[in-house]
Amino acid sequence: MSVTIGLKGEASDMVSRETTAKAAGSGSLLVYGTPYLVALMEKAACTALEPFLEEGQSSVGTRLDVHHDSATPVGMEVRAEAEVTAVEGRKITFRVSAWDEKGPIGGGTHERFLIRTESFLQKTYDKI
C-alpha cells in the first residue's frame, strides 16, 4: 500500500492555558496559540502517513503556509485535518484545515518528506 491523493489524517486538542499564545510567547492573549495550531496540523499529517511508514522510516515537515483566521478561547476543542493533495517521490503535500466548535479557524498547505530515520539523524548529528 502507498500514500495516495485524498488520504486524510485528523488530530484534535483541547485549548488550555498551556496552549495559548501567551504560553507560547507568540502573543499576550489567552487564546489558542498559532504555534500550537501549526503543530496540530502537522500532527494530522503525521497521522495520515503513519500506517504507510516502513520500519525505520519517518517523515519530516519541510514547509508550512498557514493562516490562522479566528481565535479560540480556553476550554474549546480544536480539530485539524490534513489531506494529501500531491505525491512526488518522497515529498507529500497536504491541504490542512482547522476548526473549533464554532467553525473554521484556519488552513493552508504543508509539505513533508519521507526519510530513513537512522541516516537522517546521523546526518543531523554530524553537524556537531
Q: What whole-number distance in Å separates Cα of residue 23 and Cα of residue 11? A: 21
Q: What are the C-alpha distances in Å from 10 to residues 2, 5, 17, 61?
A: 18, 15, 23, 16
Active site residues: 34, 42, 68
- Residues contacting residue 73 through CB under 8 Å, at least 6 positions apart: 15, 30, 31, 32
Chain position carrying cell 491541504: 95
Torsion angle of C-alpha atoms 73, 77, 78, 80, degrees rounded to 10: 180
